[in-house]
Chains A and B, each alone.
Chain A
Amino acid sequence: MDVDHDSLVAFAKSWGLFYLIALAAGVLVYVFWPSNRKRFDRAKKSILDKDDRPGE
């Protein structure tokens, strides 16, 4: 298959844009999804736990 320069440019300029927007939307939804708040809060604080042993 022969891909010429112009079609590669067109592909990069269209799909490249769409997938990055989709990705950004996906990340924002994940980050602000209400039920994720609890796990993020736990992750944020649990590293400060002084216990230095693996969990049971």
Chain B
Amino acid sequence: MLSGLTVSERQLSLVVLGLLAVCGLAMIGAGRNDDALGTHGFIVLGVSLGLTFLVISRYFDPEPSQERLSEYYDDPTRAGIILAMVWAVIGMFVGVWVAALLAWPDLTFDAAWASFGRLRPVHTNGVIFGFGGNALIATSLHVLQRTSRARLPDQFSPWFVLIGYNLFCIIAASGYLMGLTQSKEYAEPEWYADIWLVIVWVVYFLIYIRTLQRRKEPHIYVANWYYMAFILVVAVLHIVNNLALPVSLGHAKSYSVFSGVQDAMVQWWYGHNAVAFFLTAGFLGMLYYYLPKRAERPIFSYRLSIISFWGITFMYMWAGSHHLHYTALPQWVQTLGMTFSVVLLVPSWASAGNALATLNGAWHRVRDDATLRFMMVAAVFYGISTFEGSFMAIRAVNSLSHYTDWTVGHVHAGALGWVAMITFGSFYALVPWMWKQGRMYSPKLVEVHFWFALAGTVIYVFAMWNSGIIQGLMWRTYNDSGTLAYSFIDSLVAMHPYYIARTVGGLFFLIGAVVGAYNIAMTIRMARAAKVREEAGTDVPLPRPVATAMQAGE
């Protein structure tokens, strides 16, 4: 992959890696008295030195030929797919672990790093940023080039974005295990990791702008609008919510510049828009490209897709305050958030309906092709969870649902049913394309993955719906003397069977993801074997066909 870089790009990589190594050394020096900062310094130094050796080892390789310019640059996309699958397995494994911790609290083994409070952000960040983020970067670079019919502007910056982003994820996850957190949901990484992400993100946005400037298509396809909204808005959210002052430059801990209810409002303006622009806009970009492509039918209504784009972009911005019903936040701000959340149903269902209407007339393909079925189910869950979200944002409903497992169920209906399903569907469409194979290694295993994923999601979501509503009702039931009928521990006991069920659901989903990772790995091996055969000529025995059906005598 490194031999795809021109010599000047190799030099640039060495300069950047040198600077990064200096940053690592500075962190080690500054963090002498602070465990976490020093450890992170060693990670940064180790990564930059390792990559430096890698670049040097390839430094004298011949330059890539000019012919490369008549092809798209897909190496970063391929690497991004692999990284996304690695993070999926890690993040979902930790997810099953924390789910089990709730049912069997002894699973911490008395180790501080294995406590629920430290593992949970590893799970949330691992699946959202590790899996989701890498999937977004990988697919966005692919979609961007195809829809603009232009190659990426250079070979260095996509690698900077991909590797830099994964360094951020590693710093984040390792920090949580050491007990380091800003205590802001989905924004837990500390100040130095946040600054690094801003740099990476600006380069990411510039790749987009530079490629679009060189596009050969007159119109920018709607998927790119969604991807760009994702990049731009996440940058704005990230910068504002992470405005914080470190205790000192030699200390990992920082404190937010906002305080009290302002801090809460900024956090949930960020938090809800992270759902909107990280977990929705970017994945809608995927949906609007890979679904029509896989179904071989143009999107039902292109105009509707534009209307729903602007609807989602401008309305989500105001919905965050529904996370703060019945708090010190002024009533009118709560009402504003509630109202916008309800109105949001319109553009959300416009997208879900547009996707399903595209499939209308191709239902036989949905039946036969598990890849397309992943995308169809994703659109259905997108419709379900956006309806549920609008409903739960209503203040009266929220009084029952807030702080209960219903919220957790809602999030997972979105994260498993929508985000992960559309990602797996897109990957199964993309992997054979990227590795130049006619199909996945095993279409049967795609089918297996689909049913594990769907069963896991349904078990999980139903367990959390039940548990959440029981919890909410138990917490608000009064007895004749006007005091609460149940203690908190009573509600915990009632939750226990559901916590076991959710662990099973999560485990199903994890098994599906492992099957998917295996299938993708074997497809890559298939491609490598084909390449070796090609290079060796035809004087080799044919490999055993990877038939899914048993043959006579087997």
Chain A interface residues toward B at CB < 8 A: 5, 9, 12, 20, 23-24, 27-28, 30-32, 39-48, 52-56
Contacts and interface: CB of A to CB of B under 8 A. Distances in A.
Interface stretch (B113-121, B141-149, B169-177, B465-473): B141-149
Interface of chain A, helix or strand or loop or mixed?
Answer: helix
Contact of B147 (A30, A41, A47, A56): A47
Interface stretch (B212-220, B248-256, B371-379, B541-549): B212-220
Nearest to A12: B336
A40 B302 contact: yes
A46 B309 CA distance: 20
28 contacts: A5-B330, A20-B314, A23-B310, A27-B307, A28-B307, A40-B219, A41-B302, A42-B217, A43-B219, A43-B221, A43-B222, A44-B299, A44-B302, A45-B298, A47-B147, A47-B221, A47-B289, A47-B292, A48-B293, A48-B298, A52-B146, A53-B70, A53-B72, A54-B71, A54-B72, A54-B149, A54-B150, A54-B216
Nearest to B214: A54
Contacts of A46: 217
Interface of B: 69-72, 145-147, 149-151, 216-219, 221-222, 289, 292-293, 296-299, 302-303, 306-307, 310, 314, 330, 332, 336, 433
Contacts of A5: 330
Contacts of B72: 52-54
Contact of B306 (A12, A31, A47): A31
A40 B303 contact: yes
Contacts of A53: 70-72
A43 B146 contact: no
A46 B310 CA distance: 22
A46 B72 CA distance: 17
Contacts of A32: 303
A5 B330 CA distance: 10
A21 to B, nearest CB: 11
Given A32-B303, A53-B70, A54-B71, A39 B147 contact: no
A54 B310 contact: no
B355 to A, nearest CB: 14
Contacts of B147: 47
B430 to A, nearest CB: 12
Contacts of B310: 23-24, 27
Nearest to B147: A47
Nearest to B314: A23
A53 B314 CA distance: 35
Contacts of A45: 298
Contacts of A40: 219, 302-303, 306
A27 B308 CA distance: 10
Nearest to B343: A20
B216 A47 contact: no
Contacts of A54: 69-72, 145, 149-151, 216
Contact of B218 (A30, A31, A39): A39
Given A28-B307, A54-B71, 16 more contacts: A9-B332, A20-B314, A30-B306, A31-B303, A31-B306, A32-B303, A39-B218, A42-B217, A42-B218, A43-B222, A48-B292, A52-B72, A52-B146, A52-B433, A54-B150, A54-B216
B83 to A, nearest CB: 23
A56 B214 CA distance: 11
B269 to A, nearest CB: 14
B292 A55 contact: no
Taking each of A5, A24, A31, A44, which has the highest tally of chain B beta carbons within 10 Å of its own beta carbon?
A44
A14 B216 CA distance: 42
A43 to B, nearest CB: 4
Contact of B307 (A31, A39, A42, A43): A31
Taking each of A12, A24, A42, A43, which has the highest tally of chain B beta carbons within 10 Å of its own beta carbon?
A43
A42 B336 contact: no
Given A5-B330, A41-B302, A47 B146 contact: yes
Nearest to B217: A46
A15 B296 CA distance: 44
A6 to B, nearest CB: 11
Taking each of B219, B292, B296, which has the highest tally of chain A beta carbons within 10 Å of its own beta carbon?
B219
Contact of A55 (B150, B293, B314): B150
B380 to A, nearest CB: 23
A15 to B, nearest CB: 13
B293 A47 contact: yes
Taking each of A44, A46, A47, A53, which has the highest tally of chain B beta carbons within 10 Å of its own beta carbon?
A47
Taking each of A32, A42, A54, which has the highest tally of chain B beta carbons within 10 Å of its own beta carbon?
A54
B346 to A, nearest CB: 11
A44 B291 CA distance: 12
A46 B292 CA distance: 11
Contacts of B145: 54
A46 to B, nearest CB: 7
Given A44-B299, A48-B298, A27 B306 contact: yes
Contacts of A44: 298-299, 302
Nearest to A23: B314
A22 to B, nearest CB: 11
B85 to A, nearest CB: 23
Nearest to B296: A48
Contacts of B332: 9
Contacts of A48: 292-293, 296-298
A25 to B, nearest CB: 11
A53 B151 CA distance: 9
Contacts of B146: 47, 52
